[in-house]
Structure formats: structure tokens, C-alpha cells
Amino acid sequence: MCGILAILQSKESPSDLRKRALLLSARLRHRGPDWSGIYTDDGCVLTHERLAIVDLENGAQPLFNEDSTIALTVNGEIYNHKALREQLVKSGHIFKTNSDCEPILHLYEEKGDDFVDMLSGDFAFVVYDSKTKSYLAARDPIGVVPLYIGWGKDGSVWFSSEMKSLVDDCEKLQPFPPGHYYSSKSQSFVKYYQPSWKTEQPLTQSEKEVLPILRKAFEEAVVSRMMSDVPYGVLLSGGLDSSLVASIVSRHAEKRIEDNEKTRAWWPRIHSFCIGLKDAPDLKAAREVSEYLGTVHHEYHFTVQEGIDAIPDVIRHLETYDVTTIRASTPMYFLSRKIKAMGVKMVLSGEGSDEIFGGYLYFHNAPDALEFHEECKRRIDALHSFDCLRANKSTAAWGVEVRVPFLDKQFLQTAMSVDSSHKVCHDAEGKKRMEKYILRKAFETGVNERPYLPDSVLWRQKEQFSDGVGYSWIDGLKDYAEREITDEVFAQRETVFPEDTPTTKEAYLYRKIFESIYPTKQAQGTVAHWIPTWGASQDPSGRAQKVHLQTTI
């Protein structure tokens, strides 16, 4: 992932504005260490910190249209760029690069603001038209890619991949809402992503009808995200979601996705990566999957103390103090550093499945299929504040890009149209069954087919990432917070933090560290909290749910 910064409608002098933008853009350089770019016009500046994944030679940004009157800075990948490119060439447009993002420029030329829903990908971008002094900013449908918007005292409008480039200069800021664009023409947000699954009830289909459709849609989503001109790998926890991603990648790795699998891949060996405390449940399961798939597997360990030492840095990068996000992000932050050291710049991961299929253990408490479906929708709508934020910022901290096929727009349409009776944690007779049943069933294979995964993995119970890396990780964090935050200090929590008051010592500790880095009220206002529902334990750990299979680790 790259880092973008845009300042529009500024009244600052061009020279001072450029200097300020360069300093603030440098705060994003961890996201894109490969190159820096800048474009300026009267009252406008666009910057770009590049992580080069596609078209290494010519894809530096900002990108420009044919006569260089329209500029674009973008973070993300457009997976249907070839189809869009073909359409635009027929319309007479001339492309300067092979960048997957360049079609955005020409779509803007063709259609103005009304084109964003044509894009299939994960993105945040700003387009600036120097002829009309107008601009358009947009974020992908689910918020896989981070974007913030801020407003300066001089009436300027700011956009940035991370809050840290806005917080010192904007009197107001907020996360940019996923599935929206913001146009200078209206000076307001417009919701472009309005899929039918958000308003219509799921289709009534038999299990037999659903399985092949689901399987095909997910395989297509994974393959589209293998687009890369650099070495890539897979995050492999050994759980269902990451293992399915790894399995599909391994089936297509020998041919180059970029030319529709006509030629041999540049890097045919798939590298898989896992991290945990020694003897963590994820490590053992990941080894089993790797051995089955034949990946080049890399297993890393960390200690509780190393994790505790890293928490201030993790919070600085995440820009949140949410408990479950910090618990899960710390091992991912460590793993991303190891991945970068291997020379790998892009990884595929399994985020989003639990929201789509009700995979969290508290979903066993759902009162009925309708509420189950509604909770899935609520969780998907909140992904940009939690799993997407964690995955993107933990990896981008070390200049690694993460791709999440479960959140592919077309796959979401397919999966969220599945009758919720196939997703709930019991069958028609009320007999208990494992969470994400329909997804597991979709990847069960016939007698003569090579299974995607061993049954021991395909039917392994959900372990939330912060648990799977080793149960003593969360226990160690709680013990550390207990020592650091005295009873006397904690008793004053409502006085110290009258808004969004921490309810545990662990939460107090993270809030304290966050405010030492981002001390403004507007920064605090960007933070959301991940809490289970339906009377489940309010501790976000999956182990806190009664249905979890207790083991000693």
C-alpha cells in the first residue's frame, strides 16, 4: 500500500504549501518507501509515497491524463483495470503507463464524478482538475484502504492515508466513509456503493445450489488479487480463512495471472508466513497446511515482553486504542517486519470472512437467521474501523501490502445473498454445527478431487488471531496492565477520560499511550470499539465465549 496526501482550496502561499506538504507526506513514507512524488497548482498539492507492486518502471505518481491537466494520487489496486483500459482505449484515450490505477484518470474525463462504482478493487484516491480547479476523492466500498478527511481553518480540505498527517493542521477531521466519494462540486459525501444485499433479503436457495456458486466466486476473488510484478506470499495462521486463500493461490501460482495464465509465473514458489508465541495453536495448524500445500513456510516467534515493548509503536501506526485491534495487530506488526526482511512486498490474507459468514464464536448466540444476517451487515459496515484498519496499517508500517479477497465486491454480493439459514450455527432441526458451515462445505471436495484442505483444517474451530498466536499473549497483556495501572489511578478514570471512559485497566493503558501520541479531541473521535453482542462476554477474546473449546496453552 502507498501513502497519499492532498491539500485542496488552501490559501497558503505555493512555496509554503509545498514545504508543508513534503514534511507531512514524510510521515507516510513507511507506507511507500520506493519513491516520492508531488504535484502543485494554485491552492492545491498532491503527494504520493509509493510502494511499487505493478508497473515498477512507469507507475510512479501522481499520474496525469494525456495533456497533464488532470492529476491523480491513489493508494490501492484496481483489479479490473484491464477491462476498463480496453473500453477507454476504444473511446480514444491514450495510456502513458501500465499502472492499474491510470484508468481512474480517463474514467474521470469521460464521466466526471459518476464512475467510482465501476472500479473493482481496494483504493483511496484524489483526482484534481487544474482546468476547473475541481477535485474528487473516493474510498473503496468496504474501507480496505484507509483514508481520512480534514478541514483547515483557512477553508482548505485535506485527505490523507493516515491521521498523523492531518492531526496538527486540521481543526476538524474524521475517517472518510467507505463506499463514498467527496466532490468539490457539492462539498459533501455521496454514497456510490449501494449493493442489493444491504437492502434486500437473501435469496432462497438450496445448499446444493449455493455451494458451487460460492466456491467459484471466491476462487475468482483470490486469483484477481494475485496480480503482482514483485514477490508475494500468503499470511497463514492455519485457520480456515487464511488456509483457503493459501490453497487457492497454490493452485494458480505456476502461471502469470497478469496475462490470463498464458506464461510461467515470475515467482512460482509460494511463501507462507505465520507468527505466534512458542507452542501457539496457530503455529501447529499452519505447519500442517503448509506441508499439505507445499509452500515455503516461515514461522516466527515473539515473546509477551517483546509484544508489550512494541505497543507504543503499534498504537502510533494504528491510530486507535481499541483493545481487540491492538491485541491482534501487535503480532501482525512483528510478522510484517519479518516479511519485509524476506524481500516480499505483497501478501494475501483472510480478513472479512468472519463478518460475512458469522464466524465469531458469539454468533452461536444469534436468536434467529434474520438477526444473524443483520449482525453480519453491521460487522461488514464496521470493518474499516477494525480488521481492515489492523491488516492495512500493521503491514503498511513496514512497507508491505495486504490484499483481502473475502472483501472483493463481486464475492460480497454472492456471499451476502446466501440464505442465512445456511450460515447459522445450527441446522434445520436445531442441531449445533460449526460456525461458517456453508463456507467449509463449499470447499469440501468429491472423492476423486484433490481436497483444498485436510479435514482437520477445513473443520477447525475459529480462533481469533489475538488468541491463536498463543493464549498467554492476552493474559500477559492483562497482567502487565494490572501492574502498570494502579487501583487508585483506575478509580479516577472518569475524571481523566470523561468521554469514552475505559472500562478495564488494559483499555486505560492503551488510551493513555494513544493520547500521549495523539492528544487532540478530534483524534480521539476517530476511534471505534469492537464488542461482541447478544449477551456474550464483553471481552473481545474468542476464548471468553462459552462455545470455545478450552485447551491449555
Do 302 and 346 lie in a common domain? yes
The rounded distance, in Å, linking the Cα atoms of 235 and 128 is 36
Across-strand partners of 151?
A: 157, 172
The rounded distance, in Å, linking the Cα atoms of 240 and 170 is 42
Pick from 144-153, 159-168, 437-446: least confident: 437-446
78 labelled as ligand-binding?
no
Can you read off the three cell numbers belonging to residue 138?
473516493
Last-in-domain residue among 441, 470, 499: 470
Q: Does the pLDDT of residue 550 top 50, yes or no? A: no
Q: Does the pLDDT of residue 344 top 70, yes or no? A: yes
The rounded distance, in Å, linking the Cα atoms of 531 and 540 is 6
Q: Does the pLDDT of residue 217 top 90, yes or no? A: yes
This prediction has a pTM of: 0.95
What pLDDT is stored for residue 12 in this prediction?
96
Can you read off the three cell numbers belonging to residue 426?
445450527
For the chain, give percent helix, strand, coil, nearest 5. 40, 15, 40
The rounded distance, in Å, linking the Cα atoms of 210 and 115 is 31
Distance of CA 441 to the CA centre of its chain: 26
Do 270 and 345 lie in a common domain? yes
Alpha-carbon distances of 453 from 239, 450, 521, 530, rounded to whole Å: 11, 9, 48, 30
The reply to whether 366 falls in a domain is: yes
Alpha-carbon distances of 63 from 104, 126, 184, 365, 442, rounded to whole Å: 10, 11, 20, 50, 42
Q: Does the pLDDT of residue 1 top 90, yes or no? A: no
Q: Does the pLDDT of residue 400 top 90, yes or no? A: yes
The pLDDT tens digits for 502-549 are 999 999 999 999 999 999 999 999 999 999 988 655 565 544 556 655
The reply to whether 127 falls in a domain is: yes
Can you read off the three cell numbers belonging to residue 523?
483524534
Q: Does the pLDDT of residue 552 top 80, yes or no? A: no
Do 186 and 207 lie in a common domain? no
Percent of the chain at pLDDT above 90? 86
Can you give the CATH number for the domain in which 387 is found?
3.40.50.620
Single-letter amino acid, residue 437? Y
**Cβ contact 530:507 at 8 Å:** no
The reply to whether 13 falls in a domain is: yes
Can you read off the three cell numbers belonging to residue 136?
474528487
What pLDDT is stored for residue 551 in this prediction?
40
The pLDDT tens digits for 169-215 are 999 999 999 999 999 999 999 999 999 999 998 888 999 999 999 99
The pLDDT tens digits for 248-275 are 999 999 888 888 898 988 887 899 999 9
Pick from 31-45, 328-342, 468-482: least confident: 468-482
Do 18 and 35 lie in a common domain? yes
Confidence of residue 135 (pLDDT cuts 50, 70, 90): very high
Mean pLDDT, the chain, integer: 93
Do 137 and 233 lie in a common domain? no
Across-strand partners of 74?
A: 125
- Taking phi over 0 as left and psi of -120 to 50 as alpha, with beta for the rest, 430 belongs to left
Can you give the CATH number for the domain in which 122 is found?
3.60.20.10
Last-in-domain residue among 194, 222, 253: 194
Q: Does the pLDDT of residue 298 top 80, yes or no? A: yes
Q: Does the pLDDT of residue 35 top 60, yes or no? A: yes
The pLDDT tens digits for 81-120 are 999 999 999 999 999 999 999 999 999 999 999 999 999 9
Neighbours of 209 (CB within 10 A): 13
At 538, is the secondary structure helix, strand, or coil?
coil
> What's the distance, Cα to Cα, between the start and end of the chain in Å?
35
Which among 143, 79, 137 is positioned nearest to 108, based on CA atoms?
137
438 labelled as ligand-binding?
no
Q: Report the pLDDT averaged over residues 420-435.
A: 92
The reply to whether 492 falls in a domain is: no
At 40, is the secondary structure helix, strand, or coil?
strand
235 labelled as ligand-binding?
yes
As for how many domains the chain has, the answer is 2
The reply to whether 479 falls in a domain is: no
Helix (H) or strand (E) holding 133: none
What pLDDT is stored for residue 203 in this prediction?
85
The rounded distance, in Å, linking the Cα atoms of 481 and 298 is 31
Q: Does the pLDDT of residue 317 top 60, yes or no? A: yes
Do 247 and 155 lie in a common domain? no
335 labelled as ligand-binding?
no
Do 88 and 216 lie in a common domain? no
Catalytic residue among 2, 44, 101, 388: 2
Do 242 and 266 lie in a common domain? yes
What sections of 11-80 are H helices per DSSP?
14-25
What pLDDT is stored for residue 553 in this prediction?
34
At 481, is the secondary structure helix, strand, or coil?
helix
Location of C-alpha cell 500477559: 476
Residues in Cβ contact with 274 at an 8 Å cutoff, skipping those fewer than 6 apart: 235, 236, 237, 238, 282, 283, 286, 287, 297, 298, 299, 300, 335
What pLDDT is stored for residue 28 in this prediction?
98
What pLDDT is stored for residue 540 in this prediction?
58
Residues in the chain: 553
Annotate 361-425 with DSSP letters as a single string. GGGGG-SSHHHHHHHHHHHHHHGGGTHHHHHHHHHHTTT-EEE-GGG-HHHHHHHTTS-GGGTSS
Which among 443, 470, 477 is positioned nearest to 210, based on CA atoms?
443
What pLDDT is stored for residue 162 in this prediction?
98
The reply to whether 374 falls in a domain is: yes
Which among 130, 140, 135 is positioned nearest to 101, based on CA atoms?
140
**Cβ contact 48:2 at 8 Å:** yes
Question: Residue 101 belongs to what domain range?
Answer: 3-194
Residues in Cβ contact with 92 at an 8 Å cutoff, skipping those fewer than 6 apart: none
Last-in-domain residue among 470, 497, 527: 470
Is residue 274 flagged as an active site residue?
no
Do 243 and 360 lie in a common domain? yes
The reply to whether 485 falls in a domain is: no
Alpha-carbon distances of 223 from 45, 228, 250, rounded to whole Å: 36, 11, 10
92 labelled as ligand-binding?
no
Do 140 and 217 lie in a common domain? no
- Taking phi over 0 as left and psi of -120 to 50 as alpha, with beta for the rest, 3 belongs to beta
The reply to whether 506 falls in a domain is: no
Do 227 and 189 lie in a common domain? no
What pLDDT is stored for residue 468 in this prediction?
63
The rounded distance, in Å, linking the Cα atoms of 270 and 240 is 18
Do 149 and 259 lie in a common domain? no
Q: What is the dihedral of CA 441, 447, 450, 451, to 10 degrees?
A: 30
The 70-78 sheet, strands edge to edge: 63-64, 70-78, 121-129, 134-139, 180-183, 188-191
